[in-house]
Each structure stands twice: as C-alpha cells, then as structure tokens.
Amino acid sequence: MFNILVPDNLNQAGLDMLAKIKEFEIYAPGKMSREDTLAAAPKAHAMIIRSDTTVDRELLEHAPHLKVVVRAGVGVDNIDLAACTEHGVVAMNTPDANTISTAEHAIALMLALARQIPQADASMRAGRWDRKQFMGMELYGKTLGLIGFGRVGRAVAERAQCFGLMEIAYDPFVPDEVARHLGLSLVPRVEQLLEQADILSLHAVVNDATRELINAETIAHMKDGVLIVNAARGKLINNADLAAALKSGKVGGAALDVYDVEPPDADNPLLGLPNVIYTPHLGASTQEAQDAVGTQAADAVSNALIKDRYDNVRNRDVFNVLGQS
Ligand code: MLT
C-alpha cells in the first residue's frame, strides 16, 4: 500500500483517478497548513503539490518514505530539487497541462492592457462615461517580444500572429529552427529584443540568469511607452525598478498575473498603479487546465509507484543517487 499526500487543492478529476487505484491510500483534505503537512509527511510515499506547498529540506526530513513529489503544474520553484536528489526523491511536473490556458491568459492581458479594459470597466462602474480617457493602442503592426520561448512562449506566439503582430523571441536554449518553423526569429541578445519590442511578454523560468531580468538597466534599453505582460513568474522583475519606470511613463503599462511573493506584500511598489492591471496568478485557472493538471499528476504518481516509469523528471541526477542505494 502506498500513502499519497495531497496538501494543496487538487481538482476532483485527479483525486478520482487516484481513488480508483487499489494500491493507494489518499490523504487529500484540501489545502493543508505547513504544520499539518509536516505532521502527515512521515507516512507519505508520494506527494502531489501545486504552488502553495514548499518542498524543502525540512519537509523532506519529515518524509523518510517519500519516493516521488509531483508538481501539478509547470513551475518547480517551490521544490528544492537538489535536496530531493540528496533524499532520493524523484521530482516531476506536468509541463503540458496548462500551456494553452496560460498562453490564452497572456493574450487576454495583452488585449486588456492595450485597450485599458479593466480601467474602463471600473470607470463605468463608478458612474462615468469617459470615452476620451481610454485611448487604446492597436496590436496590429506592433512588435511583440517574447522573453522565453518554451511551451507557453510558443503558444503565445502562435496565437498572437492572428493579430498581425510582428514577433521576435529571446531564448538562449532554443534552436533557431524552432522559431523559424513558427515564422519568427530568435535574437541572440536580450537587448536586441528590448530595443525593438512595443509589447514584451515574459515566459522564462526563474534562474540565476533570469532573476530580476526586468530591472533599471534592461528597462533603459526598452522603447518609451513599452507594455509589459508577465504571466510567468514575479521574480523575473525587479519591483522597485519597474514601478519607477511605470510612474515615469518609460514603461507605458504592465499586466501582472504573478508576483515575487504571492499573495503580494502590501508594500509591493507595483501595487495600486493606475497603468497596471492585476490578476491573482490565474494563468492555469481554467477547468480544462486543472482537469489536465490533476489527471496528469495522478498518472505520474501511479506510473512511478506502480510501473516504475518516470516522465517529466526535473532532477534527473536523482537516478544516480537511486542507482547507488
Ligand atoms: C504553473 O507553474 O503551473 C503555473 O504558474 C500555475 C500554478 O502555479 O499553478
């Protein structure tokens, strides 16, 4: 018998799949506190988490039987992969499940930003009829710069083409053919992209090279009035630098779905700015994406524990450790 601990809210389709597997005992009471998660960890053979649970050394030390941790979603920034490897725990994610939803959300933010839709909506709700205040910008003929050209960046590129946007992308890990196949070009230096883009959309993972990539120095390379969409990770942005650029008008507007800390700290300087629109990390929040995320995470756990099959492993070096033990 394997004990499966689900300390975050996982959708019902995934839970139903897990419940059908006779070798599994499921503990999924809904979103669990850190204390409750630590208390339940000693029995767990597998964990399925979303973004609310952090898998760090402390949690791993409480979980001596843990074999796999599956991130139901894409970002594994809440998993200490090196610590998982040391503990012989295979860390996996479900990278395909929410690509389309996240890409659609980025496009929705782009349109809402270009036409100030949330601000216009708020104005009408306040009883005003202010047609002059909300002069928008057409996407047609503008240049969209995609920073990060993985699954979501590519899905955004495909969708953005129908608006007549010209597109360029920066991603040092993607071969030119991939971009050419989608009819756009990759630039070798991020500055080249910043200098050309009228709209920037961020789709990179956070690592030492991309953390706070949007900062005073890179903003200085951007066109005046550029619009920035971030449906990837808040840590790609230096909050103070972007806030200053939004206040000065150097950056014309931003649409933010993600924040360095979530929910954002009350003193986050990006909050409350009139030329910023906000959503609370909704990229993957569609029924379709959550069904896919839940069922793919359930599949990953059953494949690993029952069939000894591991897909989408984020710490492949763990197999060296497991091979040695
Ligand atoms: C992801 O990494 O999968 C998305 O940001 C959505 C989420 O965190 O659940």
Residue 94 Cα: closest atom of ligand 1? 3
Which amino acid residue places its CA nearest to atom 5 of ligand 1? 75
Q: Are residues 229 and 81 in the same domain?
A: no
Over residues 122-149, mean pLDDT:
97
**Count of domains in the chain?**
2
Over residues 166-181, mean pLDDT:
95
The total number of residues written for the chain in this structure: 325
The answer to whether the CB of 198 falls within 8 A of the CB of 168 is: no
Last residue of a domain, one of 260, 278, 296: 278
CA distances from 136 to 132, 200, 214 (A): 10, 17, 24
Is residue 323 pLDDT above 90, yes or no? Answer: no
Range of the domain at 222: 99-278
Which amino acid residue places its CA nearest to atom 6 of ligand 1? 284
Residue 233 Cα: closest atom of ligand 1? 5
**244-293, pLDDT tens digit by residue?**
999 999 999 999 999 999 999 999 999 999 999 999 999 999 999 999 99
Ligand 1 lining (C-beta closer than 6 Å):
50-51, 73-75, 98, 283-284
Catalytic residues: 233, 262, 281
Whether the pTM exceeds 0.85: the reply is yes
Q: Are residues 190 and 63 in the same domain?
A: no
The domain that holds 310 is classified in CATH as: 3.40.50.720
Q: Are residues 272 and 124 in the same domain?
A: yes
Distance 6 CA to ligand 1 centre (A): 16
Distance 104 CA to ligand 1 centre (A): 14
Residue 51 Cα: closest atom of ligand 1? 8
**290-321, pLDDT tens digit by residue?**
999 999 999 999 999 999 999 999 999 999 99
Query: In 3D, which of 178, 146, 174, 180 has the Cα closest to residue 160?
Result: 146
Residue 142 CB neighbours (<10 A): 18
**10-51, pLDDT tens digit by residue?**
999 999 999 999 999 999 999 999 999 999 999 999 999 999
Distance 141 CA to ligand 1 centre (A): 31
Q: Are residues 87 and 121 in the same domain?
A: no
Q: Are residues 87 and 167 in the same domain?
A: no
- Residue position matching structure tokens 């843990």: 66
**192-234, pLDDT tens digit by residue?**
999 999 999 999 999 999 999 999 999 999 999 999 999 999 9
Phi, psi (rounded to 5 degrees) for 255: -120, 120
Q: What is the largest CA-CA distance in the chain?
A: 70
